[in-house]
Chains A and B, each alone.
Chain A
Amino acid sequence: MTLMWVFLAVFGEAIAPFDPLGVPEDVLNRLDSPSADHWFGTDQLGRDVFSRVLAGARQALTVALGATVLGTVVGTLVGLIVGYFGGIVDDIISRILDAFLSIPLVITGMIALTALGPNTVGVVIVIGLVFTPLIAKTVRAAVLAERQLDYVSAAQLRRENPLHIMVVEILPNVTNVITVEFTVRLGYAIFTVLALSFLGFGIEPSVPDWGLAIANHYQFLTNDVWWPVLFPAAAIASLVVGINLLSDGIAQAYE
């Protein structure tokens, strides 16, 4: 299922039957129910919902992937430093991370995006930085365990550079933790990206985005117009479930 969405993220726009951004004249066909021409119906501007669901895969995956990569890289770096040096460095940085973690994720994202304004790069940076403390704490715990092992002590006795010890000696031994954390965070990132766009933060309105599509059309549910909401919601569910299954599979493989 995840592979299917990855495929659609790459080729979705190319195989979509209509232009996901639509043309002005589409508006005359607004909120048409599913038909042979429009399998998933049309939205409030008459755009083809099926084409926008396909194109939306790229938006969801690229933004979430970018944010997760950023969060993983920065979080791993911070986790390595905190875990390796310990002591007062650990105390100070861990308390700062705890302070960040005490603020709800979506609230932090909303505040930051209000300040930055709506743009995709801003969403990637904000979610990436919001995930940094979570990943840093996980990596720190793994590094703390590794630091007690003999191979680290041996490297220190050889007076190797701390950066070399962290990156060359310890990092390869915590890769399994980072990989599992990455896939778990990817699922959360997708949810967070779509939650922020549902709330109207971060994504330009015309972009084919599943969260935004739900936000723009849930008001029509009372009018029996379910298709612009149901299909993007099903896409979100299938992608997030697929990534969670992938995460479980990777964790089991390492075990």
Chain B
Amino acid sequence: MNKRERRQVDAIRRRSNEIQNHVIDEFEYGKISRREFIRKGSIVGLTLPFVGVIAAACGSGDDAATTTTLAGATTTTAGGGAATTTLAPAGPTTIRVGMNPGPAVGIEPVLINDEIGLAAFGQTAQYLVFSDDELNAVPVLAESWESNAAGDVWTFNIRPGVTFHDGTPLTAADVVATFNGPIASGNAASAYGTFSFAAGAAVALDDLTVQFTLDQPSGAFPFFVSSDNYNAGILPKAFWDSYTEGSYETGAQKFIGTGAWINESYDPGVFAVYTKNPNYWGDNSNQPDRMEVTFFANEAAAVTAFQDDQVDVIHHLSASGGAALIEDASNTVQSISTAQHRQVYFDTTTPPFDDKRVRQAMAIMLNRPLLIDGLLGGFGSVGNDHPIWEFFPMYNPGAVPQREQDLGEAQALLDAAGYADGFTAALDTLEFSEMSALAQLIQSTAAQLNNVNLTVGVHDVGTYYSDYWLAAQGSMGIVNYGHRGVPNVYLGAPLLSDGTWNASHWVNLDYDALFDQFVTSPDLETQRGVAGQIQTLLNDEVPFIVPYYLDFISILKPNYGGFETTGMGHYDAVNSGFTG
């Protein structure tokens, strides 16, 4: 670093708070990579110009550089020079998007709890912050943000000049009405419920400034108000004042938002048409004029429609169901690593799974690379029986070795636990993607142990969640967890002793204490240390198995490009278009 760069960095340090300076320290002293610095800096509120200056001054050019354009908000996702992704040019054109299935509970901001619903909602509504595919917190309706030194008061500066589709300007009052309104009450099943900060926590300081006061410090709070918390799309105060269930689809202000797309029509669960927002606050000069979205009943129908050239892209499909399209070299396959995973949980309160050696045996019997190759076509990465994904910055790589298949050790564990003669148990899951196949492979693997018989039940989504998920008695189950930018949801609801999604009925006060330490850790190094303890504890206790993490796969026609997705299922087609 030369003298000029040193002066620049010092000047930035003087304008930064304690948490921001800690992140700068970690980068300057080589404790985090350039990519992690940019990501962490964006979370704690370092503005992008500052991040760029510091990265240039302190960095070693270790990461490749890309620039992602997100609906007009541009952010550098890795340091160094600028290699901008060239998006396909667009003229007066229509793009056709295929999704499957339809939105589970409609396009209903309070009740949305599924990938398709949140993706549809995200076309018209936007968030303060966008959690992108590389886990960056990208400014959208919040231009910038900062916290106090303790990390329990966060202030967001709202982007000026933004208008809703009806022409009314976005103000802090709309943000406050969104966060303190209906999504903050009686909504435990959705994303907002899992982020659970106190109702009334948001206060408008002026027309363009909102402050959140938290019950406890959180270094990841920007993700709490981001697209990860998919219920928290910013809608007008007037909408919330007259809100009734379903009014986003049918009310006077239906499909209102600040997004680049304006809804023209919607046939519920079947078809939606959007047109370009001429008054969009960002740069949407390349945006197609029209977007038609078809919701297919199942993956097979979507695949057929793609083959018949009825759609230009399938937003998300599984490696197994979409194999024919994936293997067709003329199509463009986009896959991104995600934190989406399956949890193979045990009822830890009754035999045989009240003995952790039995749970360990079930975990160690699995051939995880085989599962990824066979079920996911290679589009995934191995899990190690904790939900801290290896690409989360707080992941502690040295905490616990990767669990590998050892049938002899699995049988020895069962013998030691008193189950040398085996046992019979139910294994229930839902009819979704490869989950039924995973259950059958676990069943056939268990059959290689001495007289271990698993009875597989595959249920429709509604039956599974109402009758099996949290009601497991002496049995096993498999449930899906979608992608998140931070692991707080995974570590909270399914694992805390009083967690609302604790299907394992696992009670461990040491873990509860570790979780509190994790969410209140003031810096990445401390959090990584706690994460290591959590990884070790969960890997040993095995309240659930995490066999693998899944990639998010989209399929595009060869002449179509610029369609971006996130691991959670949000998509951005604003800069998409056709070539040739």
Judged by a CB distance under 8 angstroms, whether B526 is at the interface is no
Q: How far is the CB of B343 from chain A (nearest CB, A)?
A: 19
Complex Cα distance, B373 from A214, in Å, reads 24
Complex Cα distance, B458 from A205, in Å, reads 7
CB atoms of B447 and A222 under 8 A apart = no
Given A28-B373, A30-B374; A45-B431 close (CB under 8 Å): no
Judged by a CB distance under 8 angstroms, whether A17 is at the interface is no
Given A200-B431, A206-B443, A219-B299; A27-B455 close (CB under 8 Å): no
Chain A residue numbers with a CB within 8 Å of B320 are: 30, 44
Complex Cα distance, B436 from A206, in Å, reads 9
CB atoms of A204 and B441 under 8 A apart = no
Which one, B298, B299, B431, B444, contacts A22 given CB within 8 A? B444
Which residues of A, 18-34, contact B by the 8 Å Cβ criterion? Answer: 21-25, 27-28, 30-31
Chain A residue numbers with a CB within 8 Å of B321 are: 219
Complex Cα distance, B371 from A87, in Å, reads 66
Q: How far is the CB of B559 from chain A (nearest CB, A)?
A: 22
CB atoms of B299 and A28 under 8 A apart = no
Judged by a CB distance under 8 angstroms, whether B510 is at the interface is no
Chain A residue numbers with a CB within 8 Å of B374 are: 24, 27-28, 30, 45-46
CB atoms of A21 and B444 under 8 A apart = yes
Interface size class of B (residues with CB under 8 A): 20 to 34
Q: How far is the CB of B232 from chain A (nearest CB, A)?
A: 35
Which one, B437, B439, B444, contacts A44 given CB within 8 A? B437
**Which DSSP category, helix, strand, loop or mixed, fits chain B's interface?**
helix
Q: Mark A36-59, 1 if CB is under 8 A from B, else 0.
A: 000000001110000000000000
Chain A residue numbers with a CB within 8 Å of B324 are: 220, 222-224
Judged by a CB distance under 8 angstroms, whether B533 is at the interface is no
Complex Cα distance, B439 from A45, in Å, reads 11
Chain A residue numbers with a CB within 8 Å of B445 are: 24
CB atoms of B444 and A206 under 8 A apart = yes
Judged by a CB distance under 8 angstroms, whether A162 is at the interface is no
CB atoms of A27 and B441 under 8 A apart = yes
Complex Cα distance, B325 from A220, in Å, reads 11
Chain B residue numbers with a CB within 8 Å of A23 are: 444, 448
Complex Cα distance, B373 from A107, in Å, reads 39
Chain B residue numbers with a CB within 8 Å of A219 are: 298-300, 303, 321
Judged by a CB distance under 8 angstroms, whether A242 is at the interface is no
Q: How far is the CB of B218 from chain A (nearest CB, A)?
A: 42
Complex Cα distance, B375 from A27, in Å, reads 7
Which residues of B, 199-213, contact A by the 8 Å Cβ criterion? Answer: none
Q: How far is the CB of A55 from chain B (nearest CB, A)?
A: 15
Residue with the greatest number of chain A CB neighbours at <10 A, chosen from B373, B439, B440, B443: B440
CB atoms of B437 and A200 under 8 A apart = no
Complex Cα distance, B448 from A79, in Å, reads 50
Judged by a CB distance under 8 angstroms, whether A249 is at the interface is no
CB atoms of B441 and A45 under 8 A apart = yes
Given A24-B445, A114-B463, A204-B455; A222-B370 close (CB under 8 Å): no
Complex Cα distance, B431 from A118, in Å, reads 14
Which residues of B, 286-342, contact A by the 8 Å Cβ criterion? Answer: 298-300, 303-304, 307, 320-321, 323-324
Which residues of A, 183-217, contact B by the 8 Å Cβ criterion? Answer: 200, 204-206, 216
Which one, B298, B304, B444, contacts A24 given CB within 8 A? B444
Chain A residue numbers with a CB within 8 Å of B458 are: 118, 200, 205
Complex Cα distance, B303 from A44, in Å, reads 17
CB atoms of B323 and A206 under 8 A apart = no
CB atoms of B370 and A27 under 8 A apart = yes
Nearest residue (CB) in B for A114 is B463
Chain A residue numbers with a CB within 8 Å of B457 are: 117-118, 204
Chain B residue numbers with a CB within 8 Å of A218 are: 300
CB atoms of A24 and B370 under 8 A apart = yes
Chain B residue numbers with a CB within 8 Å of A31 are: 323
Judged by a CB distance under 8 angstroms, whether B367 is at the interface is yes
CB atoms of A206 and B440 under 8 A apart = yes
Which residues of B, 368-391, contact A by the 8 Å Cβ criterion? Answer: 370-371, 373-375
Complex Cα distance, B431 from A9, in Å, reads 29
Nearest residue (CB) in B for A218 is B300
Complex Cα distance, B443 from A45, in Å, reads 12
Nearest residue (CB) in B for A117 is B457
Q: How far is the CB of B449 from chain A (nearest CB, A)?
A: 12
Complex Cα distance, B301 from A222, in Å, reads 9
Q: Mark B410-451, 1 if CB is under 8 A from A, else 0.
A: 000000000000000000000100001101110111011000
Chain B residue numbers with a CB within 8 Å of A117 are: 457
Judged by a CB distance under 8 angstroms, whether B456 is at the interface is yes
Complex Cα distance, B445 from A22, in Å, reads 10
Given A27-B441, A205-B436; A223-B323 close (CB under 8 Å): yes
CB atoms of B460 and A200 under 8 A apart = yes
Chain A residue numbers with a CB within 8 Å of B323 are: 31, 223
CB atoms of B439 and A205 under 8 A apart = yes
Which residues of B, 490-521, contact A by the 8 Å Cβ criterion? Answer: none
Complex Cα distance, B323 from A224, in Å, reads 11
Complex Cα distance, B323 from A234, in Å, reads 26
Complex Cα distance, B94 from A32, in Å, reads 39
Complex Cα distance, B321 from A23, in Å, reads 22
Chain B residue numbers with a CB within 8 Å of A30 are: 320, 374
Which residues of B, 17-32, contact A by the 8 Å Cβ criterion? Answer: none
Given A30-B374, A219-B299; A24-B441 close (CB under 8 Å): yes
Complex Cα distance, B445 from A44, in Å, reads 16
Which residues of A, 111-127, contact B by the 8 Å Cβ criterion? Answer: 114, 117-118
Q: How far is the CB of A95 from chain B (nearest CB, A)?
A: 33
Complex Cα distance, B463 from A220, in Å, reads 26
Which one, A21, A45, A220, A223, contacts B437 given CB within 8 A? A45
CB atoms of B300 and A222 under 8 A apart = yes
CB atoms of A28 and B300 under 8 A apart = no
Q: How far is the CB of A111 from chain B (nearest CB, A)?
A: 13
Which residues of B, 26-82, contact A by the 8 Å Cβ criterion? Answer: none
Chain B residue numbers with a CB within 8 Å of A21 are: 444, 447
Complex Cα distance, B395 from A22, in Å, reads 37
Complex Cα distance, B371 from A43, in Å, reads 16
Nearest residue (CB) in A for B308 is A222
Complex Cα distance, B298 from A219, in Å, reads 9
Complex Cα distance, B440 from A22, in Å, reads 10
Complex Cα distance, B441 from A220, in Å, reads 20
Complex Cα distance, B463 from A46, in Å, reads 28
Q: How far is the CB of B496 from chain A (nearest CB, A)?
A: 30
Residue with the greatest number of chain A CB neighbours at <10 A, chosen from B367, B371, B439, B441: B441
Complex Cα distance, B431 from A28, in Å, reads 22
Chain A residue numbers with a CB within 8 Å of B371 are: 27
Chain B residue numbers with a CB within 8 Å of A118 are: 457-458
Complex Cα distance, B457 from A200, in Å, reads 10
Chain B residue numbers with a CB within 8 Å of A200 are: 431, 458, 460
CB atoms of A206 and B456 under 8 A apart = yes
CB atoms of A28 and B370 under 8 A apart = yes
Given contacts A23-B448, A30-B374, A46-B374, 17 further A-B contacts (CB under 8 A): A24-B367, A24-B374, A25-B370, A27-B371, A27-B441, A28-B373, A28-B374, A45-B437, A45-B440, A114-B463, A204-B456, A205-B436, A205-B440, A206-B440, A206-B443, A220-B324, A222-B307
Q: List 24 A-B contacts (CB under 8 A).
A: A21-B444, A23-B448, A24-B374, A25-B370, A27-B371, A27-B373, A27-B375, A27-B441, A30-B320, A30-B374, A44-B437, A45-B374, A45-B437, A45-B440, A114-B463, A118-B458, A200-B460, A205-B436, A205-B458, A206-B444, A206-B456, A219-B299, A219-B300, A220-B300
Give 5 nearest A-B pairs by CB, closest first. A27-B374, A223-B324, A219-B300, A206-B440, A222-B304
